[in-house]
Chain A
């Protein structure tokens, strides 16, 4: 009894190392491991034995189709849920991250973490725009856009419930600051008029945002005149002229933030120092990359914790399912395995063959799960409240990295589920096994 427990402890300890390695190692290391395994199977004597034993095992899978499919479907469930949840986090992160750049910087009031909390007085905005680190356009004007962010209550399409939609008033230099932004329908708004252009995600999500629609903002009528595609989180926003937004919302001459283009990303530190040392300015500056990364950090982390926890619990369930199946598989093949042992196959090839069988089933499950997650959720649109207390629309992104991570989980579950049955197969007394019916 004591030796049995000791054996079990030793096996569990031995199992943990490869599982941790599987989850932690980068993809190339795992691929290299698989290549080594194939080389071992092809070249060495025991490798070739293992290969033919595996062939026998795989050939008999159709006889145990029902129970083998439990491994596949169980692992498909784990990988599908894991990949879908992580794809949600990844989509949100990349949408915000694409908004940030190294060569543009955002100036907020010191202490404010988001634009909606920030107020920059007109005089400060003018001083900031004149800093020498800021690039100038063809007419010699600094590329700096004083911007106002407000949240307007607009119903989501098909509902009557109001959602907070971000209205961004931008300055004349906004087009130079966002070269990636394209007008895909209609035209730009005319400065001085109550005209709006709408991001492509906002058009899809919110009511009354088609070109030609009238929107009432703070009691005043506005017209939508264009649609834009910027490929980042600005696509969830409605843009208009800063000065007109300021009038509508009684903001006076102050703005929420000033976004500037640097002559060179390396000049950021100089700009930061200049703003910090100017006694007239109570402002802080950060690159837009830092700013937007910080905005996605909290939610992305929460989703990653949720995804990993759910995946882990489901994974534990799937390991026991796989254990059941593989113990049953080894039990039904008792005679076959005993025969292999009797004709000279060693223990290691038998262990390896059962393991490879399980890993192949697990891999199939991983591929099925990732494929389902990809088919259902890649580019699936969702929205949540962002840092400015307004809706950020994003798409789930099932990236190759996430699929790779899902497959790693599948292999880890398969390894745990196959190892113990494989060892039992190898330790089975041959004579007893041959007598088994």
Chain B
């Protein structure tokens, strides 16, 4: 630590060069923070604590196929199932197809099973009592400036009403919040009564999209899933039951291999960064050869010279890295408040900071290694003579 001021002044010996290098490092770590936040959001989809204690039952054919409502009582009687609820994808559009958000018709006990969706008791009661009632997530309500009491028209893409009309109107009676900010994207959805939906739709009456089971013991998930699937084995509506986590991650993995894309970009970015800062460090050491020789002359051992140069390069990377990650944190929070859940992004949390800082130290050591070795192996006589 006593050499800190020496390292610091060596680093800012050429202010412009150090500044430019810092800005490059900042850009790299800004990108790292942003991309890792997106990657994390995809990897995190469905990996909630509650997700492990819920099972999802879909049609074995594909999740687009409906299941009969008659399964409800039979699933409920499976030992280990604490509570069953069901939902149906509606796929309605609000004003413009660009305004996409999930909207589902759900059973009355939906919010009991999805206990992480916090709905004030009065609003929950209002929802249960209003036939055409609907509940939306807080970030969705914010996006369209909806207030409780408002009527929300949705244009059906799948389910026209009995009379042939495509427009369904719902009364907004409640707004729910999700406590964990990492799962904010869950607030981008709208739920209304399956009963109202089922009575008014033109076809498919008596069908539900999927069942969700809350189970007491996550350890028993496999056994319970098999028991549920056994109910409809060899019927014309065979089911496939899996944990909510497994269902969501298989869905996300069908979109794209986000990890691979982000990994390749970051590979290219850091490879470029290592060469760039490596060049800066090499220049810095080359210029300072006489100074390093003087340090050695006055008694600095080889090891100290090595450590000084390495410390300088780690310091350079850390300064730029911290600034870049701070910028990323700021940018992500701005994007998240401005665009809500439209772009899947996690807040830049501790994990990203730790990974980023580990990378700065690692890259700092890699980049400093060659120049530091050169400084260590200097022959004082040659160096002082400028040879």
- Which residues in A have some Cβ–Cβ distance to B below 8 Å? 66-67, 69-70, 73-74, 76-78, 80-81, 84-85, 109-114, 116-117, 119, 150-153, 161-164, 217-219, 249-250, 282, 309-310, 313-314, 316-318, 320-321, 323-325, 327-328, 382, 384-385, 389, 391
The answer to whether B164 touches A282 (Cβ under 8 A) is yes
Give bound CA distance, A385 to B256, whole Å: 8
Quick one: which of B237-258 are within 8 Å of A by CB?
Answer: 238, 240, 250, 253-257
Quick one: which of B160-209 are within 8 Å of A by CB?
Answer: 160, 164, 166, 203
Residues of chain A within 8 A of B60, CB atoms compared: 153
Return the CB mask of B262-293 against A: 1 if under 8 Å, else 0: 00110011011101100110110000000000
Residues of chain A within 8 A of B279, CB atoms compared: 66-67, 70, 324-325
Residues of chain B within 8 A of A77, CB atoms compared: 268-269, 271-272
The answer to whether A321 touches B24 (Cβ under 8 A) is yes
User: From B253, which residue of chain A is reached at the shortest CB distance?
Assistant: A161
The answer to whether A314 touches B27 (Cβ under 8 A) is yes
Contacts A66-B282, A77-B269, A150-B64 aside, 15 further interface pairs with beta carbons under 8 A come to A81-B268, A81-B269, A85-B265, A112-B158, A152-B61, A153-B60, A153-B62, A250-B236, A309-B34, A310-B35, A313-B34, A314-B272, A320-B27, A324-B280, A384-B254
Give bound CA distance, A411 to B282, whole Å: 27
Residues of chain B within 8 A of A153, CB atoms compared: 60-62, 240
Task: From known contacts A77-B268, A318-B272, A321-B20, infer whether A111 and B157 are also in contact, taking CB-CB under 8 Å.
Answer: yes
Give bound CA distance, A76 to B268, whole Å: 9
Residues of chain A within 8 A of B203, CB atoms compared: 119
The answer to whether B275 touches A324 (Cβ under 8 A) is no
The answer to whether A74 touches B254 (Cβ under 8 A) is no
Chain B min CB distance to A432 (Å): 18
The answer to whether B157 touches A112 (Cβ under 8 A) is yes
Q: 7 A–B contact pairs at CB < 8 A? A: A70-B276, A112-B157, A152-B61, A153-B60, A321-B24, A385-B254, A391-B254
For chain B, give the interface size range. 35 or more
Select B23's contact among A111, A114, A317, A389, beta carbons within 8 Å: A317
The answer to whether A67 touches B283 (Cβ under 8 A) is yes
The answer to whether B27 touches A313 (Cβ under 8 A) is yes
The answer to whether A310 touches B265 (Cβ under 8 A) is yes
Quick one: which of B1-31 are within 8 Å of A by CB?
Answer: 16-17, 20-21, 23-28, 30-31
User: From A254, which residue of chain B is reached at the shortest CB distance?
Assistant: B203
Task: From known contacts A70-B275, A110-B166, A317-B24, infer whether A81 and B265 are also in contact, taking CB-CB under 8 Å.
Answer: yes
Determine if B122 is an interface residue (Cβ-Cβ < 8 Å).
no
Task: From known contacts A317-B27, A389-B64, infer whether A384 and B255 are also in contact, taking CB-CB under 8 Å.
Answer: yes
Give bound CA distance, A323 to B21, whole Å: 9
A-B pairs with the 8 shortest C-beta distances? Answer: A317-B27, A77-B272, A320-B20, A317-B24, A111-B166, A151-B62, A321-B276, A320-B24
Chain B min CB distance to A372 (Å): 9
Give bound CA distance, A273 to B158, whole Å: 23
Give bound CA distance, A19 to B55, whole Å: 55
Give bound CA distance, A393 to B135, whole Å: 37
Chain B min CB distance to A323 (Å): 5
Give bound CA distance, A389 to B279, whole Å: 49
Select A324's contact among B17, B31, B158, B273, beta carbons within 8 Å: B17
Select B275's contact among A73, A314, A320, beta carbons within 8 Å: A73
Residues of chain B within 8 A of A385, CB atoms compared: 254-255
The answer to whether B256 touches A384 (Cβ under 8 A) is yes
Residues of chain A within 8 A of B61, CB atoms compared: 150, 152-153, 217-218, 249
Give bound CA distance, A88 to B261, whole Å: 11
Give bound CA distance, A353 to B82, whole Å: 78
Select B27's contact among A67, A112, A316, beta carbons within 8 Å: A316
The answer to whether A111 touches B160 (Cβ under 8 A) is yes
Residues of chain A within 8 A of B265, CB atoms compared: 81, 85, 310
Chain A min CB distance to B280 (Å): 6
Give bound CA distance, A325 to B275, whole Å: 12
Residues of chain B within 8 A of A320, CB atoms compared: 20-21, 23-24, 27
Chain A min CB distance to B366 (Å): 16
Determine if B80 is an interface residue (Cβ-Cβ < 8 Å).
no
The answer to whether A313 touches B30 (Cβ under 8 A) is yes
Give bound CA distance, A109 to B155, whole Å: 13
Determine if B156 is an interface residue (Cβ-Cβ < 8 Å).
yes
Residues of chain B within 8 A of A325, CB atoms compared: 279
Give bound CA distance, A188 to B35, whole Å: 46
Give bound CA distance, A317 to B91, whole Å: 43
Task: From known contacts A321-B24, A382-B256, infer whether A327 and B91 are also in contact, taking CB-CB under 8 Å.
Answer: no
